[in-house]
Structure 1
Amino acid sequence: MNFKRRATAAAAVLAVAGAGLATVQATAEATQPEAAAHSGPKACPDLTVTKGWYGENRARLQRMIDAYGHCGPRRHQGGAKPVATFDWDNTVIKNDIGDATMFWLLRHGKIRTPKSGDWHTTSRYLTDPAATALAKACPATRTTLPTHRNTACADEILSVYSEGTTASGKAAFAGFDHRRMEPQYAWLAQLTRGWTTRQVEQFAAAAREANLAAPVGTEQRVGTHKVTGWVRYYDQQRDLIRTLKKAGFDVYVVSASPEPVAEVWGRSVGIDARHTLGIRNVTAHGKHTAHLKGCGTVRDGDDSMITYIDGKRCWINKEIFGVRGAAAEKAQPAAKRQVFAAGDSDTDVSFLRDATGLRLVLNRNKNELMCRAYENGDGRWLVNPMFIEPKGKKTDPYPCASTGYTERDGGQGPVRRADGSVIPDQKDTVHGPATPSPAS
């Protein structure tokens, strides 16, 4: 089907959609970058999975591929490939590989005892109450902690990691920049201290095998708690990544999980180590330390920036586009930005905003991301329900004009456009079916 016929079909669908997002997309369609798709014989590969895509999302993704792929009129000159960047957890898969790995480490007693028993050595942001609680629950009597048997130790580590608090409810982390660091995520990478990268990959592979084999909905026990015990790849995202690569895109995964863990999971969708960005440990004598690699103005070992919100932008600029120093922390000119990006959380908002072509958002009801996606000021945002267990409609509007944005100090404020103006509250219009009420 040529573009003229596609556009006509798209207009017909959008005319009856009725949703606010669809109306915005229809209005902006004529100015979209993918609208310049090649009108001659079709040479770019086609997406093959049709189930699960909302409205015109699949069609618009196809037009982007047709426009920017090796056969399209917007293909990059001089041999440079168009870049596509994907978040991983709940974007390419359902559930979280960082969680899966942490749960496996705890269930198998693979976390090493901190140096001198001092838990402050595992994170510069760990609070005194957290360090004290961990030391009490996890006596430093062995090289590795027996969390597969010591439920009190497992429970304390699990609480600090999952909730950001001690088991008694005291804050576990403090003093960090909330736009470039999530110390709970970083802590998983830091707790791989003492293992080699190869060993961490083996742990991740074992966790992957167990979570893929478990039936959907499986729970597993860690300490005295039940936690998620299954993961699934999204067929739609496998198909999208495969099609982008066949069309000549350079496709990367940018994850807030440890990089060796993301590498293990990315292989089955054709993403190799060179195309995987995640939290990187500083190594010594071939083993991970509790210190982290830096980006931009953050030096290795400062441990103050990971692949999280603005940190994802920095690592993309540094590792994909070769931007160094303070400039890596800023949005780059269009020629040094990804054409396409996909994500599901506020963690992803900065690198999604940088995408020059289309931005795919899986709706998990995350305030800042959904405010920007639904406002859709430049017509490049696509919102889709999650492909597995999609969330139902959010009853209240997203608080874009008041508390939708997380400040660097952790405070809440309005979500602003690039010109400083405030985005008004947005209704949730692209979602899964309503969740049935429990039987009374």
Structure 2
Amino acid sequence: MALAVVSVIAVSGPASALASGPEERATARTVDASGQSGDCPQLSKKLAWYGDNRAKLQKMIDERGTCSGHHRQRPVAAFDWDNTVVKNDITDATLAWALKHDKILQPKSWRETSKWMTADAHRALTEACGTSVRPGKPLPTSTDTGCTDEILDVYLEAKTSDGKTAFEGEWNHRRTVPEYVWVTQLYAGIRPATLTEYAKRARAENLAAPIGHEQTVGTHKMAGYVRYYEQQKDLIRTLRKAGFQVYVVSASAEPIVRAWVDELDFDREHTIGIRNIVKHGRLTTGVQGCGDVKDGRGEVLTYIDGKRCWINQEIFKVKGADAWKKQDRAHRIAFGAGDAETDVTFVNDATAGHLAVNRNKAELMCRAYDNADRRWVINPMFIEPLPRKSGTYPCASTAYTAEDGTGEPVRRPDGTVVPDQEDRVYGG
């Protein structure tokens, strides 16, 4: 069923239409928390934010931007990408395009694509995709519905098409997810630049499709469009003008992310994604480690605590085991933005502001609604926002994902438990 096109966000605060066309940006005299004035770039008033979120973000920019004249060191801002800067998921979009265009290569053995793959999943993929295609050659997934469906079920559900578990074993659930890394390992044998080109073609297709469009891949219905959030584009540009160093930290494969970030002038230094190891110019199933975790098969991703590690290591040059630890204020981001559990650690680490795009993800929303430091900003999705979540977020019981995958209470830095929270910021 096609989703409805939403051009106005219905909220309990002031409602305004989403603007189109080039936004106007002005520089105005502002006052920071110390009472000192400075010239700081202003967020566009033509773009709709929930309630007084624009004012809250502007206050943070005025206070922490180098434009205020009080900061010798440039502050750092970090953004998740999927469903934070854009609507929908670029990993899903790229895989859908690759499957529709026969770009996935036959592996020597499906079992070798993931250290956690079960015998059931190996058997199901082998039977569905066959063995007639030689290893390293493209699978005919554009026409072989069974093969396509099996790949999508293993990725999207972590189960085979007949419901058997696809991944098993032990992993740190705050550092990796087998299916997240497996989708990057599907591109083994492809050159990084080639994968970026696939992502660019998927990007063009998804940007051209109307909002709400669904596509059929195999027999699966998947989102068939992606859009940049104009509010986030404006925020990123304004932060840069105010002196912030701005980074993307994504749980998508880095060659895929590169196809999208050029729109906002992110270079490679400021783009962090899952980094598969390259040998002889081609991607492999190996994945770069972080901190004191060596390169491996995906034991560490840019995922939950892994995003903190990569930020500490790549941006603040913290090495070894210390990269996993929360750093002092001088070595933490000033501003973080995300939409899901995968972002909660780094967004919570921010010292000046935290933006949560509400997709009803429990651990993130528990932190956001608890608002322990009074610096959280919560916004519905800018396109097709979710309605109010029924019931409460289970903050006091199971919303925190422990390393072994069990649910635990969300706790504040002092150890006190965050009480269950109602959903209070949502779309119509």
TM-score by length of 1: 0.87
Counterpart position of 1:108: 101
- For the pair 1:36 / 2:32, whether they are aligned, the reply is yes
Shift of 1:321: 0.6
d(CA) in 1 for partners of 2:404, 2:105? 31
Q: Which amino acid aligns with 1:133?
A: A
- 1:236-247 equivalences under 5 Å are 236-247=231-242
Q: Higher helix fraction: Structure 1 or Structure 2?
A: 1
SS in 1 for 2:248: strand
SS in 2 for 1:71: helix
Counterpart position of 1:409: 404
Root mean square deviation, CA, Å: 1.7
d(CA) in 1 for partners of 2:291, 2:122? 30
Q: Which amino acid aligns with 2:284?
A: T
d(CA) in 2 for partners of 1:323, 1:58? 33
SS in 2 for 1:362: strand
Counterpart position of 2:113: 122
- For the pair 1:274 / 2:269, whether they are aligned, the reply is yes
d(CA) in 2 for partners of 1:248, 1:298? 33
SS in 2 for 1:316: helix
SS in 2 for 1:111: coil
Match for residue 142 of structure 2 among 145, 148, 154: 148
Shift of 1:411: 1.2
Q: Which amino acid aligns with 1:170?
A: K
TM-score by length of 2: 0.90
- 1:173-184 equivalences under 5 Å are 173-174=167-168, 175-184=170-179
- 1:12-31 equivalences under 5 Å are none
Shift of 1:250: 0.5
Counterpart position of 1:300: 295
Match for residue 186 of structure 1 among 173, 181, 187: 181
Match for residue 94 of structure 1 among 87, 93, 117: 87
Q: Is the 8 A contact 1:37 1:64 kept in 2?
A: no
Shift of 1:429: 0.6
Counterpart position of 2:226: 231
Q: Is the 8 A contact 1:49 1:239 kept in 2?
A: no
Shift of 1:74: 4.1
Q: Provide Cα deviations, 1:395-433, integer angstroms capped at 9, x if missing partner.
A: 201111111111111111211112222111001111111
Structure 2 stretches of 5 or more lacking a match? 1-11, 14-29
Counterpart position of 1:46: 42
d(CA) in 2 for partners of 1:89, 1:113? 28
SS in 1 for 2:82: coil
Q: Provide Cα deviations, 1:254-305, integer angstroms capped at 9, x if missing partner.
A: 0000001111111101212211100001111010011101001211124201
- For the pair 1:356 / 2:381, whether they are aligned, the reply is no
Q: Which amino acid aligns with 1:428?
A: D
Counterpart position of 2:71: 75
Counterpart position of 1:217: 212
Match for residue 134 of structure 1 among 111, 125, 131: 125
Match for residue 62 of structure 1 among 58, 61, 72: 58
d(CA) in 1 for partners of 2:148, 2:362? 32
Q: Provide Cα deviations, 1:354-383, integer angstroms capped at 9, x if missing partner.
A: 100000001110111111110111111111
Shift of 1:92: 0.3
Could you say if the C-alpha distance between residues 380 and 41 of structure 1 is closer, same or farther in structure 2, counting changes exceeding 3 Å?
Answer: closer
Structure 1 stretches of 5 or more lacking a match? 1-15, 18-33, 434-440
Q: Is the 8 A contact 1:37 1:72 kept in 2?
A: no
Match for residue 382 of structure 2 among 371, 381, 387: 387
Shift of 1:394: 1.1
SS in 2 for 1:43: strand
Shift of 1:351: 0.2
Counterpart position of 1:9: none
Q: Is the 8 A contact 2:409 2:417 kept in 1?
A: yes
Q: Which amino acid aligns with 1:112?
A: L
Q: Provide Cα deviations, 1:315-351, integer angstroms capped at 9, x if missing partner.
A: 0001111011101011111100000000000110000
Q: Identify the range of structure 1 (190-199 vs 294-303) with the bigger mean alpha-carbon deviation.
A: 294-303
d(CA) in 2 for partners of 1:50, 1:258? 33
Could you say if the C-alpha distance between residues 182 and 375 of structure 1 is closer, same or farther in structure 2, counting changes exceeding 3 Å?
Answer: same
d(CA) in 2 for partners of 1:186, 1:139? 23
d(CA) in 1 for partners of 2:45, 2:145? 44
d(CA) in 1 for partners of 2:131, 2:45? 52
- For the pair 1:258 / 2:253, whether they are aligned, the reply is yes
d(CA) in 2 for partners of 1:71, 1:207? 38
Q: Which amino acid aligns with 1:132?
A: R
SS in 1 for 2:39: coil
Q: Provide Cα deviations, 1:60-93, integer angstroms capped at 9, x if missing partner.
A: 111111122222154234xxx2100000011000
Q: Is the 8 A contact 1:280 1:293 kept in 2?
A: yes
Q: Is the 8 A contact 2:47 2:230 kept in 1?
A: no
Q: Is the 8 A contact 1:343 1:352 kept in 2?
A: yes
Match for residue 78 of structure 2 among 79, 85, 90: 85
d(CA) in 2 for partners of 1:394, 1:319? 36
d(CA) in 2 for partners of 1:379, 1:417? 13
